[in-house]
Chain A
Amino acid sequence: MENKKEYQVINIAGTLAKGFLKSPLTAVLGAFLLIMGYLALNTMPREEDPQIAISGGAVIVPLPGATPKEIENIIVKPLERKLREVRGIEHVYGMAMDNVGIVNVMYYIGEDREDSNLKLYDKVMQNMDSMPKGVMQPLIKPFDIDIDIPILTVAFYPKADKQVDDISLFEMVREVQQHINAVEYVAKTTLKGARKAQYNIEVDMGKLSAYHLSLGQIMQAVQSVAVDVPDVKGKTNSGKLVIFGVKNAIESVEDVGSVIVAQYMNSPIYLRDVASVTHGIDIQNFQTAKIMFKSDVNDTLSKEANQITMTVAKLAGTNAVFVAEDVVKVLESYQKDFDDLGIGYLITRNYGERANEAVNELMSHLLITIIIIALMLVFALGWRESLIVTFSVPAILAFTLFTAWMTGQTMNRITLFALLLSLGLLVDAAIIVIENIHRHLHAHGVEDKKMEDLLIEATDEIGAPTNIATLAIILTMVPMAFVGGMMGSFMKPIPYNVPVALVASLFVAYIFTPYLSLKLLKKPEHKPNNEEDENHKIENNEMKEGKK
């Protein structure tokens, strides 16, 4: 055996091990990785499911009085042909109904959303000149998943003991909505089941004919009174402005009732004579919402009550957990007002919480798995070695998470499954290195060598096959990134993150495993009568023979 000779590094593994083994920066790098991982874990946007770029939209073209077949011929078919010209559209769906034609387009999954919306709008606008006569302005509505799918829905309902009417409920909810929209990263909020205040003029047809009136007269009478005009300006002799204006004559529901509809036999007919005029809710709106709920499993459900559901969506790429928490805080700040009015609220959907639960559950799975593998290694290799491998796992995961964060990915179920999947693979590199170090430390002639050289040599030796083997696994993952469709997009985090984790596992194994071994492991006392050692002697002899 050549003694005290400087070991010649032949692989990148050895180069890395050599470079970092004595460097004081190695520990700093390790700490830096862990801190970055921790930061990523806490600030990365959390979602339950990964973002799938679904783009599409609807073009709605009303043509009053046309039958479906007419709509099909003059609106749907030409529009479909034009939209077919747009690149990236996968399917065009046309619907011809009475009075209206609708054409929906679905882009291929993964098409850029802003581009797609623009292309759709552009195509329709370019062809406005060829729209048939009598067609009303087409409506172009793009689908927008981030904005359209609410992460939080809250149902507001009147409490059973205090009777709050629909209008006050709506007015309160509207005020809350204003403040929730002010929360950072909240995108679109909508109200469902809201009943708005309205003056209802319900005309009795019998009285109408008795007074010899028509509906048109009533309409004109009301319209002639209820007008808003801007103020007008006059000037004084000295040139100062004098501002005056006509106020809307209708101040309250009584004013509506006192509108004079006609003169009959010299006495005025008021609107309230022929119609019931009430300050009520929008009776023409048939879209209502009801709720039944209970707070404990063993209770019975409450009685059906009217409710208003507020939906809250977030901006793309923001953390659902934080947005949901902030919105809930705003709701809680209104608790006193709600109590005074007798309004209760119930959060009926909270994707933020769901995402958090899903992520936390998987994080605990990750931890459990790491512990199980660490335990297994204690038995197979010894506790110091196990400790070294166990350190490498958080370092690799931290690096992977940090990379994912920097590349604009979110933390979701699939990202974490990718980490779980790679867990079984990424300890391998560290295991192989530590096993080789272990073997070298117990090999013949170890006392002649410096510990540092031993570690570098042990790492360097297994470099080539480990690199090839890891490369093989990475290669299997790469084609998965090109799988198209919904499922492809859904699974994207796997081909994105597993290769990163595997590359990181190589670097961590080559840099930190020798470094930690230097700190934790010691050359054992040499035992010449070890049976294993005898084997090595024989093999070494054979090797020497081979060289001759």
Chain B
Amino acid sequence: MKGFEKFIYNILDSKYKKKLIISLTAIAFFLSLMMFPTKMVLAKMLPGKSANTFSIYVDTPAGSSIEQTKQVSSCVLNYLKKENEVMNIELFLGQGIPLDYAGLVKGASMKRTENVSEISVNLTDKHHRTEASYLMVQRLRPLIQESCLPLVRGTNIKFIEQPSGPPTLASIVVEVHGENLSQIRSLAVDVANTLSNTEGLVDIDIMADENFEKYELIPDKEKVARSGLSVKQVNNILYLAFEGMVIAHKNSQNSPDQINMFLVLDNASKQLPESNIEALKSKLSSLNLMNMRGMMVPLSEVVDIREAKSNYMIMHKDLSRMTNVIAETDMVSQVYPLLEAREVLLEKFENDYIITKAGFSTYMFDFTLEDRKTHAKYLIRWDGEMKVTLDTFRDLGGAFISALILIFLLLVIYYKSFAISGIVLLGSFLSLIGVIVGHWVANWFTTETFFLTSTSLIGFIALIGISSRNSLLLIDFAKSLMECEGIQKRHSIAIAAATRAKPIMLTAVAIILGSALLAGDPVFGGLGVALISGTVAAVFVSLLFVPVLMDNSKAMDFDKKYCDNEALKNISITK
């Protein structure tokens, strides 16, 4: 310990060495911050975690039949069947899988149409499996999409992994707001195209229904009335014939439910040879209605058939019309593809629209478009995981600043000096160097990208407390050496640093060992790495940088005075 004491004293005694320490620290801090813009350390809210299950959503275009949906689903199943690690596959046609956290926000419980199906895949236990579930999804996605998507035009197949944290609608959600329905639709298509050309984005989908061919039967009011029929009767019979209806039921002693009596035309009678007006007309001509006089009237006699397009669904969010475009990220953080896609979009829209970018908020990536000709306004809003991330980072940042202020106040009360409290805070803030560099180092050792996540931020916040304690004990010690024993300032600081080195190291080792097992966890790895590397940095900062600041600060000049405080006196001999 004597050696270390001399080492510190030598540094404090030379102006040049002190400057060197300060500038080295400043350079290290600056360099570590530079790791963000140079993308050496990537940020993400939460990383993926390997799970024992994943699910696949199949959406054929609106108006598709259950048979078409089944055809696509079977194609997907064929690929899954080949996987050795798959233990069981469940296919739910026309409905969602039993609700899970992911499905909750993705609207799985609302699915009850013929053009949807969901597949749930259970894998072998993750502890005995070499391939992580997200890697398996990454491998299967292009294979399945390539061969199954063309089966029914306009089909969308999405791969849903269990979220490791709170679930969101999608990694990237772009909302196109505006009044003109067809224009927001075409803008949405532009956005979707841009997203699909962006590297790292997959499963792009416009959350709007496609329009499909349909036929409108227009009742000829005069003919209906003159045949002694009513429009209501026409509607009912049509529905009864093709969709069928439960017309009566029977209560049963033995069956757990009522037995329904269901009336419908048989399949042969329902089937049309092809989809056109003539086929429909000839089918309707053989469907007879009985009028009030007991005479039979063919249905085709009282209606005109016309081709039409189905109506689009209109979506609102917070009272304004909009269309969603969603995309998932393929093992990358959503931040970087988002920025890239946004640049491309800004360039693309520049010719036709006047672009105004949003100000600094958690909607900071938004921009509004004003049509150069019609002056109609549209808003492109980035929501989804990005928004949640920004909100979380903003809140955690706020928590961090509040923590700094609270500690500062506590120290001011304790030391009655702003300068000393400032030194402690600055010292603890510098553990950020360790946190950032730690993530960069961790990235070397992992096969996938090791992201700086929100748990890393929580680790960093906890670190301020830990490292401020180091500085605190150091200052306390040096102060009492000067006050009670009248040792010269520089000497006291050196003695303090040398004697406190052991307990600082000891508690640091305890924290590092305590966090070592955290580092291996996918979600809390960031926290573990932040604590480990941050603690290492904190040890260096409190043993080298803080003493230099203490020596430079006038607030640390304590005069020798009568010391009757037992506690302070005794700290001075702690070894």
Contact = CB atoms under 8 A, between A and B. Distances in A.
Contacts of B84: 297-298
A489 B237 contact: no
A209 B296 CA distance: 9
A432 B484 CA distance: 22
B104 A149 contact: yes
Interface string A41-84: 00000000100101000100000000111011000110011001
Most buried by A among B263, B512, B566: B263
Query: How large, as a class, is the contact surface on chain A?
Result: 35 or more
Contacts of A376: 509-510, 513
Interface in B101-122: 101, 104, 109-110, 112, 114, 120, 122
A207 B155 CA distance: 40
- Among all A-B residue pairs, the 4 with the closest Cβ atoms: A424-B514, A94-B316, A473-B465, A486-B166
Contacts of B236: 216
B469 A473 contact: yes
B149 to A, nearest CB: 21
B337 interface: no
Given A95-B313, A539-B573, A216 B289 contact: yes
Contact of A301 (B89, B124, B317): B89
Contacts of A369: 513-514, 516-517
Most buried by B among A52, A58, A289, A478: A289
B111 to A, nearest CB: 9
Given A84-B319, A95-B315, A488-B395, A202 B266 contact: yes
Contact of A192 (B95, B260, B572): B95
Contacts of B249: 226
Nearest to A208: B288
Interface in A423-448: 423-425, 427-428, 431-432, 435-436, 439, 443
Most buried by B among A150, A174, A425: A425
A153 B98 contact: yes
A483 B394 CA distance: 9
B318 A92 contact: yes
B257 A368 contact: no
Contacts of A84: 319
Interface in A489-525: 489-491, 494, 498
Contact of B461 (A200, A476, A489, A542): A476
Nearest to B527: A421
A157 to B, nearest CB: 10
Contacts of B114: 286
Contact of B414 (A205, A217, A468, A488): A468
B485 A542 contact: yes
A532 to B, nearest CB: 7
Contacts of B141: none
A292 B88 contact: yes
A92 B316 contact: yes
Interface stretch (B8-16, B368-376, B400-408, B546-554): B400-408
Query: How large, as a class, is the contact surface on chain B?
Result: 35 or more
A145 B255 CA distance: 32
A475 B403 CA distance: 6
Interface of B: 45, 53, 66, 77, 81, 84-95, 98-101, 104, 109-110, 112, 114, 120, 122, 124, 165-168, 233, 236-237, 240-241, 243-245, 247-252, 255-257, 259-269, 286-290, 296, 310-319, 388, 391-392, 395-396, 398-400, 402-403, 406-407, 410-411, 414, 454, 458-459, 461-462, 464-466, 468-469, 472-473, 476, 484-486, 503, 506-507, 509-518, 521, 523-524, 527, 531, 560, 562-563, 566-567, 569-575
26 contacts: A8-B566, A68-B312, A192-B95, A193-B92, A197-B255, A201-B261, A209-B286, A214-B237, A282-B262, A284-B262, A294-B88, A298-B84, A309-B98, A346-B88, A369-B514, A421-B515, A424-B514, A431-B503, A475-B406, A475-B410, A476-B461, A482-B402, A487-B166, A487-B388, A487-B395, A539-B573
Interface stretch (A17-25, A399-407, A458-466): A458-466
Contacts of A491: 454, 458
A148 B103 CA distance: 11
Contacts of A155: 88, 90
Contact of B289 (A214, A372, A487): A214
B392 A485 contact: yes
Contact of B503 (A349, A435, A487, A542): A435
A38 to B, nearest CB: 22
Contacts of B411: 472
A285 to B, nearest CB: 8
B247 A223 contact: yes
Contact of A199 (B90, B261, B469): B261
Contacts of B570: 461
A204 interface: yes
Contact of B240 (A148, A190, A219): A219
A231 interface: no
Given A68-B314, A472-B468, A475-B406, 14 more contacts: A8-B566, A68-B313, A98-B311, A197-B252, A209-B286, A228-B251, A286-B114, A348-B120, A424-B511, A424-B513, A472-B465, A473-B462, A482-B395, A488-B392
Most buried by B among A256, A346, A368, A543: A543
Interface of A is mostly: helix
A205 B287 contact: yes
B261 A256 contact: yes
Contact of A81 (B99, B168, B243, B319): B319
Contacts of A283: 244, 262, 264
Nearest to A294: B87
A58 B110 CA distance: 10
B116 to A, nearest CB: 10
A414 B496 CA distance: 38
Contacts of B398: 479, 482-483
A435 B248 CA distance: 85
A365 B517 contact: yes
Contact of B259 (A192, A199, A228, A301): A199
A360 interface: no
Contacts of B296: 209, 212, 214
B290 to A, nearest CB: 4
Most buried by B among A150, A417, A476: A476
A463 B122 CA distance: 55
B90 A380 contact: no
B486 A546 contact: yes
Given A439-B574, A476-B403, A485 B260 contact: no
Given A96-B313, A223-B248, A543-B569, A288 B93 contact: yes
Nearest to B391: A485
A31 interface: no
A72 B165 contact: no
A490 B461 CA distance: 17
B283 to A, nearest CB: 9
B262 A201 contact: yes
Contact of A92 (B94, B259, B317): B317
B288 A417 contact: no
A215 interface: yes
A192 B93 contact: no
A385 B392 CA distance: 42
A171 interface: yes
Interface string A10-31: 1100000000000000000000
Given A297-B124, A421-B518, A546-B484, A174 B257 contact: yes
Contacts of A219: 240, 245, 247, 263
A479 B395 CA distance: 9
A348 B90 contact: yes
B259 A197 contact: yes
Contacts of A543: 484-485, 563, 569, 572
A269 B182 CA distance: 56
A412 interface: no
A273 to B, nearest CB: 14
A465 B290 contact: no
Given A204-B269, A216-B290, A427-B510, A291 B90 contact: yes
